[in-house]
């Protein structure tokens, strides 16, 4: 897969660096470098651009304004000397955020992440059939979801679903407790509940979502996971025990 890119920055030296870095990456093709954000926006809206390297501080149109107008018609990596825009940019679903001066290894990591995300979203080419388990009648063709991406303070972090023990909702953010760490993200419980696959995760309290396969024991209105006692709320009790009953032997 070759990613068609444009670089947008009002500093010619910054454009020189991006152009040099792009030339070193086999799966990148620089279609255009420009100091004119309006010109770049027109190129993106015309289609055919996979990735935009976008500066934030530009005279006619800031990078944040560019993102809001473009409405996600490409993937974006922001390039800036200012870290204070990181959180706002992640709310606009940028792929990465590179602080100037940009090191090549950090640049490569960012573009490789974009490429991997696009490869995963590509339809799989038809191949010779392989032996499979007996078929059932549910032909959804839905991809198996085994990870999620969450926005933390300075990055977008990938989390394997199998690593998640439980999720705790706090006032303005949530904490995701995994086998090895606690990850804090600006998110709400409803959105997280909708994102996680049904049947593997269930909300048991206004403040808790749990991974079913991580339950160690259930006693009355309490669940034990990795030494943590999690309450079962009255609103969620019936649905939870109905699901548990279906798994009893």
Each residue's pLDDT tens digit, 104-119: 999 999 999 999 988 8
* Position 128 pLDDT exceeds 70: no
Helices (H), the chain: 12-23, 37-46, 63-70, 86-91, 104-121, 189-195, 234-245
Of 34 and 123, the one with more pLDDT: 34
pLDDT at 83 over 90: no
- The pLDDT, as a whole number, for residue 121 is 75
**Global model pTM greater than 0.75:** no
Residue 134 has pLDDT above 50, yes or no: no
Report the distance separating Cα 171 and Cα 217, nearest Å: 28
Which band of pLDDT confidence, cut at 50, 70 and 90, is reported for residue 9?
A: very high
């Amino acid at each position: 897969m070759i990613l068609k890119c444009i670089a947008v920055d009002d500093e010619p030296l910054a454009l020189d660096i991006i152009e040099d870095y792009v030339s070193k990456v086999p799966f990148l093709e620089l279609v255009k470098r420009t100091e004119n954000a309006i010109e770049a926006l027109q190129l993106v809206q015309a289609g055919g651009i996979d990735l935009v390297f976008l500066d934030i501080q530009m005279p006619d149109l800031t990078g944040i304004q560019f993102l809001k107008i473009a409405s996600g018609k490409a993937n974006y990596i922001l390039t800036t000397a200012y870290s204070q825009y990181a959180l706002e940019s992640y709310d606009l679903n940028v792929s990465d955020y590179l602080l100037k001066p940009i090191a090549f290894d950090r640049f490569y990591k960012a573009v490789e992440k974009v490429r991997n995300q696009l490869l995963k979203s590509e339809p799989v080419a038809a191949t010779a059939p392989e032996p499979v388990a007996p078929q059932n009648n549910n032909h959804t063709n839905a991809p198996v979801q085994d990870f999620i991406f969450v926005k933390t303070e300075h990055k977008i972090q990938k989390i394997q679903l199998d690593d998640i023990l439980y999720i705790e909702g706090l006032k303005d953010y949530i904490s995701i407790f995994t086998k090895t760490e606690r990850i804090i993200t600006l998110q709400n419980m409803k959105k997280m509940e909708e994102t996680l696959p049904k049947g593997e995760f269930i909300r048991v309290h206004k403040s808790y979502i749990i991974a079913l396969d991580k339950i160690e024991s259930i006693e009355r209105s309490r669940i034990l996971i990795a030494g943590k006692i999690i309450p079962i709320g009255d609103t969620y009790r019936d649905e939870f025990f109905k699901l548990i009953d279906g798994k009893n032997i």
